[in-house]
Amino acid sequence: MDNGNFYRHLFITGLPGVGKTTLVCRLCDILRRESIPLRGFYTTEVRGNYGRTGFEIVTVDGSRRATLATVKPPPGGPYPNVGKYSVMLNQFEPLALDVLKGDLDSNSSTKNAVFVIDEIGKMELTSRPFGDAALQVFNQPSTIVIATIPAKPLKQLEVFAGIRHGPSAKLFEITKQNRDATLQTVHDCVRKAIAALGFPTG
């Protein structure tokens, strides 16, 4: 939806493996060089000798990481399962909620910041507290949110429908053919929102 001004809720979607996280990380590198305040996390694969063994989340500054899901869960379950993966809520939630809610509780960290949530997907949304905290981030008036979401409709995402289809939101669907051009378009949207919101930049 076009609000005739700027967008501060930028959703990135696409098929698995198309490069959503890669686009987000490239965008973060650009914004970091432009001295734009960044918060949030991205998701990366964990690989072993025989392929992918799980996923972990990494803060955008690279200082902290935690297991999101694994094919080899430790004793102490049961754990929520998504496909062949066990979601490690006991490891995911402490970091994810600290990044999301901790910044909100500080009353200043999310103000005039670009907040990355990669991703809001089926694994992450096995955590109700995560979904609630993510909604709070979207509702911060001086925060630009860049969030990746699955291309396949997901019932758990319905709580974000009002935001995703609202006047402050724009959805980008990336493919291997358009991802470089989409990176530039998303960056342009972020810069326009930064100017409109009066972010301090270096």
| Correct CATH for 9-45+90-197 of 3.30.70.1150, 3.40.50.150, 2.60.40.1510, 3.40.50.300 | 3.40.50.300
Helix/strand/coil percent split, the chain, to 5: 35, 25, 40
What ranges in 139-178 are assigned the alpha helix state H? Answer: 161-164
Q: How does pLDDT run across 134-145, given as a tens digit for each residue?
A: 999 999 888 999
Q: How does pLDDT run across 27-45, given as a tens digit for each residue?
A: 999 999 999 999 999 999 9
The predicted pLDDT at position 106 comes to 52
* Residue 60 three-state SS: coil
What's the rounded Cα separation, in Å, for the pair 96 and 40?
Answer: 8
Does the pTM surpass 0.85? The reply is: yes
Establish whether the linkage from the previous residue to 141 is cis, with ω within 30° of 0.
no
CA 140 to each of CA 64, 72, 89, 174, 177: distance values in angstroms, whole numbers, following the listed order: 24, 37, 25, 26, 34
Q: Give the start-to-end residue ranges of the domains of the chain.
A: 9-45+90-197
Instruction: Return the residue matching tokens 């949207």.
Output: 189
Q: How does pLDDT run across 89-134, given as a tens digit for each residue?
A: 999 999 999 999 865 555 544 567 899 999 999 999 999 999 999 9
What is the rounded average pLDDT for all residues in the chain?
91
Strands 169-173 and 9-13: parallel
